[in-house]
Amino acid sequence: MAAPATADVCDANAAHVTNGDLRVLQPKFEIYGQRRAFSGQIVTVKVFEDNVLVRQLLETKGEGRVLVIDGNGSRRCALLGGNLGQLAQNNGWAGIVVNGCIRDVDEINNCDIGVRALGTNPLKSNKKGMGDKHVVLQIGGTLIHEGEWLYADGDGILVSKFELSV
């Protein structure tokens, strides 16, 4: 299923933007992966310079969902690399949004998933298993709840309390 254009979603759902049911993430994310546009129900994880929980989630069946990783905006290491990108593709994840960095960009760009991240860093993360899965995130002033819906394309990223149509 193709993701609807975010501009069209905003236009068709102006009342939901006004009341906060549809939120726009700050335009700070770079585009990676083969899927330039993607959408799906959100799974959340909050970590800091440690990607063990990211791997644990990507090892599960994605079923077209989107993993939102709050790495607290750290740019000191990567939370996602080529191996995890391939794992996400193989397990049916639609996309990954990283409030942090990725690495192995050429490998990720060959994966049939959508990825958004703040940038790149070749340094791998810690492997201590610290963090929290399935929690409410706050990225750039926007609250993101597990089970909400994410829509991403070249214009930006939207988060909705419910599945939207144009």
Tokens found for residue 97: 């949004």
162 inside domain: no
pLDDT confidence of residue 127:
96
Residue 131 counted as an annotated binding residue: no
Q: How far apart are the first and last CA of the chain?
A: 14
Partner residues linked to 153 by β-bridges: 156
3-state helix, strand, coil in the chain (%, to 5): 20, 35, 45
pLDDT confidence of residue 3:
75
118 inside domain: yes
165 inside domain: no
> What's the average pLDDT block by block, 10 residues per block, for the chain (166 residues)?
84 94 95 97 98 98 98 98 98 98 98 98 97 96 96 96 83
Cβ atoms of 96 and 113 within 8 Å: the answer is yes
pTM: 0.96
Partner residues linked to 142 by β-bridges: 139
70 inside domain: yes
pLDDT confidence of residue 63:
98
Cβ atoms of 117 and 101 within 8 Å: the answer is yes
Residue 84 counted as an annotated binding residue: yes
pLDDT confidence of residue 1:
52
Give kind and range of the element (H or E) at residue 108.
Answer: helix 105-109
Cβ atoms of 131 and 48 within 8 Å: the answer is yes
Which residue segment(s) compose the domain that 34 sits in?
6-19+26-156
135 inside domain: yes
Cα 44 from Cα 30, distance rounded (Å)? 19
Residue 50 counted as an annotated binding residue: no
How many structural domains compose the chain?
1
Residue 11 counted as an annotated binding residue: no
Residue 33 counted as an annotated binding residue: no
Residue whose entry in the numeric block shows the structure tokens 């959100």: 42
pLDDT confidence of residue 166:
58
51 inside domain: yes
pLDDT confidence of residue 91:
98
pLDDT confidence of residue 2:
67
CATH number, residue 45: 3.50.30.40
1 inside domain: no
Rounded CA Rg of the chain: 15
Partner residues linked to 31 by β-bridges: 116
